[in-house]
């Protein structure tokens, strides 16, 4: 079966690999093999791939830069479609930015700041793609994707494309409609503001410096693990519980920021899950606060 699927994908414009280790494509450096790994080079190749997957009822998973994601050590028994910078052209008209979903958010924020356009400064240091950031409504420093998105161009499993306006994206804290329906963002439009390039650059650098100084980017990690259980902050609760630096296997609560779990070199998905459960149990026992993760888990079973 997989051989036939592979033959079909090899006819499309893109890269096809069987058994590709997904730890090579996640910021946590965790994840088993993909039965088939496909990186489309064009939107048309992506459309054909999705239509074929839907027709043949093949399990699949879209992947950006692999941040905010925990993949099982067993991998994914299906087709993983990686949206890379092959699908990342961008154009600017006035204060409107249109950009492909595979574009690096950090890179985009830097480029746009030099053009004197403000609105993406919050994205400095967020290690994901435009598409992944919309999926999660990524944010920091008091802003998020919902504040700048005009509309997202989404490819659905039946092969149709549809522009979805921001007010129809069901955005809330680290949440969008894409988490409850199948669809891939292929491009997006943002409304930015004119500003002084030097001022924007300084704000961007300030945000980058803050993340560098307060977050553990010297080890593989996925970003923040838990949603803030407002009015509390996840990192503060974890640190107050005495769990900063606590380890299970190769997974450790960061000694820099307690809402980060780092891979000390050989962490498995089970190590991370066990550590997450230990944190949840400890904090509920101490403070009766339920800690919910903001990390997408794929192939993880209890």
Per-residue pLDDT, averaged over 124-149, amounts to 90
pLDDT in tens, 171-224: 998 899 998 888 899 999 999 999 999 999 999 899 888 888 888 878 999 989
- What angle do helix axes 43-56 and 2-9 make, rounded to 10 degrees? 160
pLDDT in tens, 214-267: 888 789 999 899 999 989 999 999 999 999 999 999 999 999 999 999 999 899
* CATH-assigned architecture of domain 2-82: 2-Layer Sandwich (3.30)
* CATH-assigned architecture of domain 234-298: Alpha-Beta Complex (3.90)
* Domains of the chain, residue spans: 2-82, 87-214, 234-298
| pLDDT score of 297 more than 80 | yes
When comparing pLDDT for 20 and 1, which is higher?
A: 20
pLDDT in tens, 81-91: 998 777 888 99
Could you give the residue numbers annotated as active site? 174, 224, 294
What pTM did the predictor assign? 0.88
Cα(114)–Cα(200) distance, integer angstroms:
8
Three-state DSSP at 292 gives coil
Query: Mean of the per-residue pLDDT values for the chain?
Result: 93
Between the two ends of the chain, the Cα-to-Cα distance in Å is 29
DSSP class of 41 = S
Instruction: Tell me what pLDDT residue 217 has.
Output: 79
* Whether CATH 3.10.20.30 fits 87-214: no
pLDDT in tens, 39-66: 999 999 999 999 999 999 999 999 988 9
Q: Which helix (H) or strand (E) holds 285?
A: helix 269-287
Please indicate whether the domains covering 87-214 and 234-298 agree at the CATH topology level.
no
Q: Which residues fall within 8 angstroms of residue 4, CB to CB, at 6 or more apart? A: none
């Amino acid at each position: 079966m997989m051989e036939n699927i592979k033959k079909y994908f090899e006819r499309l414009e893109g890269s096809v690999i069987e058994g590709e280790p997904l730890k090579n494509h996640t910021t946590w450096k965790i994840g088993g093999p993909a039965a088939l790994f496909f990186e489309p080079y064009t939107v048309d190749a992506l459309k054909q791939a999705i239509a074929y997957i839907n027709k043949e009822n093949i399990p699949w998973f879209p992947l950006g830069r692999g941040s905010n994601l925990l993949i099982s050590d067993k991998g994914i028994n299906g087709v993983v479609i990686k949206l890379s910078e092959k699908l990342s052209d961008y154009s600017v008209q006035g204060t409107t930015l249109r950009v492909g979903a595979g574009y690096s958010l950090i890179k985009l924020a830097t480029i746009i700041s030099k053009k004197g356009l403000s609105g993406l400064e919050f994205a400095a240091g967020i290690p994901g793609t435009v598409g992944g950031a919309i999926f999660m409504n990524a944010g920091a420093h008091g802003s998020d994707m919902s504040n700048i998105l005009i509309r997202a161009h989404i490819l659905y499993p039946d092969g149709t494309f549809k522009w979805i306006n921001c007010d129809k994206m069901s955005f809330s804290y680290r949440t969008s409609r894409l988490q409850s329906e199948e669809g891939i963002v292929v491009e997006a439009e943002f409304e930015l503001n004119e500003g002084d390039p030097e001022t924007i650059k300084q704000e961007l650098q300030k945000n980058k410096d803050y993340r560098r100084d307060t977050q553990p980017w010297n080890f593989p990690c996925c970003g923040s693990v838990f949603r803030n259980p407002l009015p509390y902050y996840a990192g503060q609760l974890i640190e107050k519980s005495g769990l900063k630096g606590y380890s299970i296997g190769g997974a450790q609560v960061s000694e820099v920021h307690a809402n980060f779990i780092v891979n000390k070199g050989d962490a498995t998905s089970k190590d991370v899950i066990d550590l997450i459960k230990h944190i949840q149990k400890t904090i509920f026992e101490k403070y009766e606060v339920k800690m919910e993760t903001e990390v997408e888990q794929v192939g993880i079973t209890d």
